[in-house]
Amino acid sequence: MSIRLLKLAALYLVVAITLGLGMGMTEKFTLAPVHAHLGVLGWVTLALAGLIYTHYPQAAGTRLAQVHFWLHNLGLPVFMGGLALFLLGNTWAGPLLGIGSTVVWLSLVLFAVNLWRSLR
Ligand code: HEM
Ligand code: HEM
């Protein structure tokens, strides 16, 4: 679980910094919120979850941890894709953005509940 989270976080880091560099080079900042959340939700939050689960294996072994893992990793690409499309003027992507962000929100609420329940 921790290794999968850290490897996925590293992937998000590469995508986030590539987009950041691209924005800087083209001086087009429309996708800045996508870059920001690829960084904070993809890299920082996933890596932090991976490190927390390494440090507290009792939190990594629960069913809630599995649900958190899948909802975060299925929701985030939909959230980021929806946000990018929406910011580029495709208003039809609004529902994708809404669903993706709500799924990620739910995954992180469950992550928090998991920590409260399993850490002693
Ligand atoms: C080589 C690495 C990176 C480059 C070239 C880069 C580039 C950029 C650029 C060009 C902007 C837009 C600035 C603006 O609109 O004024 C930006 C914003 C931002 N970046 Fe990065 N970035 C990098 C890495 C990261 C990482 C690793 C994170 C998160 C962990 C991050 C988080 C953010 C955030 C949160 C913003 C929005 C800041 C705001 O709205 O004031 N960046 N970045
Ligand atoms: C489901 C999770 C999240 C949702 C739905 C969300 C939503 C938003 C929204 C609507 C904005 C304003 C964007 C704008 O002004 O264009 C924003 C900005 C920001 N959020 Fe989040 N956020 C989430 C998670 C996080 C997390 C976990 C962090 C930090 C660890 C974070 C850091 C930031 C930062 C730094 C900004 C300002 C950067 C910018 O405006 O581009 N967000 N977020």
Mean pLDDT on 40-48: 98
Q: Taking a C-beta distance cutoff of 8 angstroms, is the pair 51, 2 a contact?
A: yes
CA of 49 to the centre of ligand 1 (A): 21
The residues, ordered by sequence, that sit 6+ positions from 9 with a Cβ below 8 Å of its Cβ are 42, 43, 44, 46, 47, 50
- Reported as a single tens digit per residue, the pLDDT across 18-29 is 999 999 999 999
Residue 71, pLDDT > 90, answer yes
pLDDT tops 90 at residue 11: yes
Quote the ligand 1 centre to 66 CA distance (angstroms): 30
Cα dist. 77→27, 58, 103 in Å?
24, 28, 11
- Report yes or no on whether pTM surpasses 0.85: yes
Is residue 1 in contact with ligand 1, taking CB distance under 6 Å?
no
Range of the domain at 24: 2-118
Mind listing the pLDDT tens digit for each residue in 72-112?
A: 999 999 999 999 999 999 999 999 999 999 999 999 999 99
Ligand nearest to the CA of 10: 1
Burial of 6 (0-12, 13-18, 19+ CB in 10 A): middle
The Cα 63–Cα 72 span in angstroms is 14
Instruction: Give the ligand whose atoms come closest to the C-alpha of residue 15.
Output: 1
Determine the atom of ligand 2 nearest the C-alpha atom of 108.
1
Query: What integer pLDDT is reported at residue 62 of this predicted model?
Result: 96
- CA–centroid distance, 108 to ligand 2, in Å, is 14
Instruction: Tell me, using a 6 A CB cutoff, whether residue 86 lines ligand 1.
Output: no
| Residue 120 pLDDT level (bands cut at 50, 70, 90) | confident
Percentage above 70 pLDDT, the chain: 100
SS3 101: helix
Protein residue whose Cα sits closest to atom 4 of ligand 1? 20
Structural domain total, the chain: 1
